[in-house]
Amino acid sequence: MSTPLKNDLFLRALLRQPTPRTPLWMMRQAGRYLPEYRATRGEAGSFMKLCMNPQYACEVTLQPLRRYALDAAILFSDILTIPHALGLGLEFEAGEGPRIDRPVRSAADIDQLPTLDPEVELRYVMDAVRTIRRELDGKVPLIGFAGSPWTVGTYVVEGGSSKTFSHIKGMLYGAPEQLHRLLAHLTRATIDYLKAQVHAGAQAVMVFDTWGGALSPAAYREFSLRYMQQIVAALPREQDGRRVPVILFTKGGGQWLAEMADTGADALGVDWTTDLATARATVADRVALQGNLDPSVLYAPPAAIRAEVGRVLASYGHGHGHVFNLGHGIHQDVPPEHAAAMVEAVHELSPRFHV
């Protein structure tokens, strides 16, 4: 038996159940903007060593919760653990972002991809989940996550970050069947990976589709949404007698929220380019919404942050089903006190939307 949750506001909001205030967490809440994170990463030696050591991964997961009154923890890991486990040669170079030594570009490359057993190649992630759950001791729920097959595919095919997506879009339009084979392989791996995270103790899961917004509507449906739909359909939705909510987040996906809600996900992440009021009217209480403060608001002084928090809360409006968050990850040069001002503002301003 696992410890009962002391704070389940986040899980309740994802299921559109009543809460006395709006729960919150921050995308990338464990990261370089925190001096204690930089210290632990220094001790670990590198970003991947931090991810692969369950004690370090647990430590950095808990760091933001010691500073701020957040309502969820997110597993410290990365969406690129799958390409790493596939043996593609992942490296994170300081200041340059991820690099994949052996990008997957031909039919032969795709045929050679191994089938993963998440309790073997990604055992360190499951060990981190188990360690974090033990250390959290029911304080707040733990979110597990993975990248969408399309988004992970962009790194796998491009060999790193990209502005133009030349190789993967060349494949999408020139050899769509080949891209479908790659995405099907990544989908299989992602389903097994997320299932293993839930079995290890993740209490909600989020799929990050950071680059879905780079697609045309038709290509989004065929190459990103379709595979996220398969993931939602395949995940176990209950563990230890509680529903395990699934959150889908397509950055730049505001125009597809209705179709995303059709997947059967419990909640959708929304970035700051879409009004929550519009988003809420579109999904009509079928799913909860998570978002959507522009992360750059945190460059402004606390009074301005408070006003913008108020604007986001008012945009969602009265009633349940909102998880406050940034519209994308926190920037690394944000002063930690500014994040504190945001958290305080949500605690102070949100109760009146729940009476």
Q: Which is nearer to ligand CP3, 4 or 163 (CB)?
A: 163
Number of alpha carbons in the 13 Å side-chain half-sphere of residue 9? 22
- Decide if 25 contacts 11 (C-beta within 8 A): no
The least CB distance from residue 329 to ligand CP3, in Å, is: 4
The reply on whether position 79 binds ligand CP3 by CB under 6 A is yes
Pairing of strands 322-326, 73-74: unpaired
The reply on whether position 76 binds ligand CP3 by CB under 6 A is yes
Residues 6+ apart with CB under 8 A from 224: 148, 149, 150, 151, 209, 212, 215, 250
- Decide if 223 contacts 216 (C-beta within 8 A): no
User: Bridge partners of 92?
Assistant: 98
The reply on whether position 68 binds ligand CP3 by CB under 6 A is no
- Candidates 300, 343, 332, 342; CA nearest to 35 is 332
Work out the number of other CB atoms within 10 angstroms of the CB of residue 281: 12
**Number of alpha helices (DSSP H) and beta strands (DSSP E) in the chain:** 16, 11
- Taking residues 126 to 165 in sequence order and writing x for each that binds ligand CP3 by CB under 6 A, - otherwise, the string is -------------------x-x-------------x----
Query: Is 32 marked active-site?
Result: yes
- The one segment of 6-14, 90-98, 121-129, 341-349 that binds ligand CP3 by CB under 6 A: 90-98
Cα(42)–Cα(127) distance, rounded to whole angstroms?
21
- Taking residues 184 to 213 in sequence order and writing x for each that binds ligand CP3 by CB under 6 A, - otherwise, the string is ------------------------x-x---
Query: Is 155 marked active-site?
Result: yes
Query: Which of 78, 127, 266, 271 is flagged as catalytic?
Result: 78
The reply on whether position 248 binds ligand CP3 by CB under 6 A is no
Q: Which is nearer to ligand CP3, 50 or 349 (CB)?
A: 50
Q: Which residue has the tokens 């990261």?
A: 31
| Residue from the set 23, 54, 83, 98 that interacts with ligand CP3 by CB under 6 A | 98
The least CB distance from residue 244 to ligand CP3, in Å, is: 17
Query: Is 117 marked active-site?
Result: no
- The one segment of 75-83, 212-220, 234-242, 337-345 that binds ligand CP3 by CB under 6 A: 75-83
The reply on whether position 99 binds ligand CP3 by CB under 6 A is no
- The one segment of 11-19, 92-100, 164-172, 267-275 that binds ligand CP3 by CB under 6 A: 92-100
The least CB distance from residue 151 to ligand CP3, in Å, is: 6
Cα(19)–Cα(295) distance, rounded to whole angstroms?
25
How is 59-117 classified by DSSP, letter by letter? HHHHHHHHHS--S-EE-S--TTHHHHHTTS-EEEETTTEEEESS---SHHHHHTPPPP-
Query: Which of 33, 37, 155, 193 is flagged as catalytic?
Result: 155
The reply on whether position 29 binds ligand CP3 by CB under 6 A is yes
The SS3 of residue 285 is coil
The reply on whether position 327 binds ligand CP3 by CB under 6 A is no
Pairing of strands 267-269, 288-293: parallel
Residues 6+ apart with CB under 8 A from 160: 97, 98, 99, 100
The least CB distance from residue 332 to ligand CP3, in Å, is: 7
Q: Which residues are catalytic?
A: 28, 32, 41, 78, 155
List of residues contacting ligand CP3 (CB under 6 A) = 27-32, 41, 47, 74, 76, 78-80, 92, 97-98, 145, 147, 161, 208, 210, 329
